[in-house]
Structure 1
Amino acid sequence: MVSEQDWVSEQAIFAAGDEDHAPGEPWTGPLAREFGQVAKVLLDSPTAAGVLARVVHAVKALVPEADLVSITLRTKEGRYTTPVRTDELADRLDEQQYAFDEGPCVEATRTPGEGVVDLPDLAEAPWPRWAPKALAFGVRSVFAVGLVPADDPPRLGALNLYSRQRNGLDKVDRDLAVVLASHATVALAATTAMTAAEFEQAHLRVALRSRDVIGQAKGMLMQRRGLTAEQAFDLLRRTSQDLNMKLVRVAELFVSKRNEL
């Protein structure tokens, strides 16, 4: 993790220009290392997935105030997906925005200019359905920037930062966020292997695996507790809500511990 002191020092070096940089001396600060790694992965990776993952890693390293980071992609048909994230909670936060059609990552794809959406206090957010859910998950502030900042909305997607602190992302460097979002955009433009169709296929594979494991869990509940299929699914759903955990994860845990129950 890059400390705030390292980050401030690195910014000072970049702002100072070449006069403070000895000839032949390598740029070894945290900012230079992260961008170097992003560029290396961009050149070496046959797909966009590796670069997007590296961009998310770079954001976590360079913006320690961000507790959760994710990248939203928008298909030509207008569907949203989250191919990379730092935490399952970021995935849930994104998915609820897609379901409600409101929230920072959705808004960032539609906002003109740089596409920056900055909400320091979610209690004052203009999203009546999504904001209460995010607050219930312990998220207090959000910052999102649209991919392809130079293009008119709707954009290709968004880079999303979440904090558990009110005003927790006030120190985010907007220029840095735009540059990192641009790296994600370049990755998607420069690599063709991970196309929208492949993302759809990956999403379908996950959906099929999820359906299978939920079906297994339902079958076990029906057999062991004498429940109907509808009652078994309702029990799994209520457990998911009570534990603040994805339904498929609850099903996976239930199936994996079947010999202990």
Structure 2
Amino acid sequence: MFSALAESMSDTTSVVEILRRVLGAASALVPTADLVGVSLADAEGGFHSPIRGDALVTRLDELQLRFGEGPCVAATRATGPGIVYSPDVRADPLLGRWGSAAARAGINAALAVGLFPHSAPPRAGALSFYSHRAHGLDSADRDVAVILAAHVGAALVMARATSAAEARSAHLETALATRDVIGQAKGILMERQGIGADEAFATLRSASQRMNVKLADVARTLVDRRRDR
């Protein structure tokens, strides 16, 4: 099952799609969990899920954000592998007000593992499992959760690396296109005015400064007008 999950995540660079596939696998691999969620940390220190899943999972995430405590919060801050297991959330002092609120909502056991389980805290998010029954999750579930979190982390790293490479490639293509159009505009000025390359570039730069328009846009306008004739 884990090899199939790794293979399924290798053909997409979409973070949302990766998380959707992980949640599907998590539900199958941890059948004792009634609900499964994944939360990503944001720049403000809060949590959000890019996937709109079960309404109760969303509510549990909102409560963690409000109280600043809960299994996902604790898992992202914990040292070691970042595992937080609470067989009885109402009685767990680590979960505080969140535990009481979760119990009132019908959740009595919780398990969360920080993404990138072997990295230093604070981590980028957490994978969470919830059970309506106290002691409804066990040590075997914890082992599976750690492996799943590692898979999620690896897939997210690959997705981000691919996105960064694509962004760099797009930036390079834009830079090359800009250089090309400036070269064409210089050639037009050199032909029309009988001037050298440096003087043609200085003319373009001067026009750019006078009109408060990017040099590339000035060059593109000149080239487009030449083509329209």
Cα deviation digits, residues 100-130 of structure 1 (max 9, x gap):
1000011000000010001001121213321
Asked if the contact 2:112/2:126 (under 8 Å) is kept, the reply is yes
Counterpart of 1:84 in structure 2 is 51
Counterpart position of 1:189? 157
CA apart distance, 1:61: 0.2
Query: What is the CA distance between 1:86 and its match in structure 2?
Result: 4.5
Question: What SS does the corresponding residue of 1:148 show, helix, strand or coil?
Answer: coil
Aligned residue for 1:159, secondary structure, equals: strand
Paired AA for residue 109 in structure 1: T
Q: Secondary structure in 1 aligned to 2:49?
A: strand
Listed as ranges, the gaps of 5+ residues in structure 2 are 165-229
Distance 2:31 2:152 in 1: 19
- Shift in Å, 1:148: 0.9
Q: Is the 2:9–2:21 Cα contact (8 Å) retained in structure 1?
A: no
Shift of 1:40: 2.5
SS in 2 for 1:142: strand
* Counterpart contact for 1:56–1:71, Cα < 8 Å: yes
* Residue-by-residue CA offset, 1:176-228 (whole Å, 9 max, x unaligned): 21110011111211113789xxxxxxxxxxxxxxxxxxxxxxxxxxxxxxxxx
Q: Which residue of 1 is the match for residue 36 of structure 2?
A: 69
| 1:103 and 2:103 are equivalent in the alignment | no
Are 2:12 and 1:45 aligned?
Answer: yes
Aligned-residue Cα RMSD (Å) equals: 1.9
1:79 CA drift (Å): 2.7
Determine if contact 2:113/2:146 at 8 Å carries over to the other structure: yes
Equivalent residue for 2:132? 164
Shift of 1:83: 2.1
Deviation at 1:145, TM superposition (A): 0.6
2:118 to 132, 150, 159: 150
- Of 135, 138, 141, which residue of structure 2 is paired with 1:173? 141
Whole-angstrom distance in 1 between the partners of 2:72 and 2:152: 15
Aligned residues: 162
- Asked whether the 8 Å contact 1:56–1:86 carries over to 2, the reply is no
Bigger helix fraction: 2
Distance 1:160 1:188, change over 3 A: same
Of structures 1 and 2, the one with the larger relative CO (CA 8 A, separation 6+) is 2
Work out the percentage of aligned pairs sharing the same amino acid.
44
| Pairing 1:1-261 to 2, within 5 Å after superposition | 32=1, 35-84=2-51, 86-126=53-93, 127-192=95-160
Structure 2 counterpart SS, 1:173: helix
| TM-score (norm. length: structure 2) | 0.66
Contact 2:10–2:155 at 8 Å: present in 1 too? no
Q: Deviations over 1:53-105 (max 9, x none)?
A: 11111110011110000011112442311223641111110111011100001
**Matched residue of 1:70: which SS?**
strand
Aligned residue type for 1:99? R
Structure 1 contact 115–145 (Cα < 8 Å) conserved: yes
Looking at structure 2, the residues matched to 191 and 103 of structure 1 have their Cα atoms a distance apart, in angstroms, of 28
Is the Cα contact below 8 Å between 1:69 and 1:85 reproduced in 2?
A: no
| Runs (5+) with no aligned partner, structure 1 | 1-31, 196-261
Q: Flag the structure with larger Rg.
A: 2
User: How far does residue 173 in structure 1 lie from its aligned partner after superposition?
Assistant: 3.2
TM-score, normalised with respect to structure 1: 0.58
In 2: Cα distance, 1:57 partner to 1:86 partner: 11
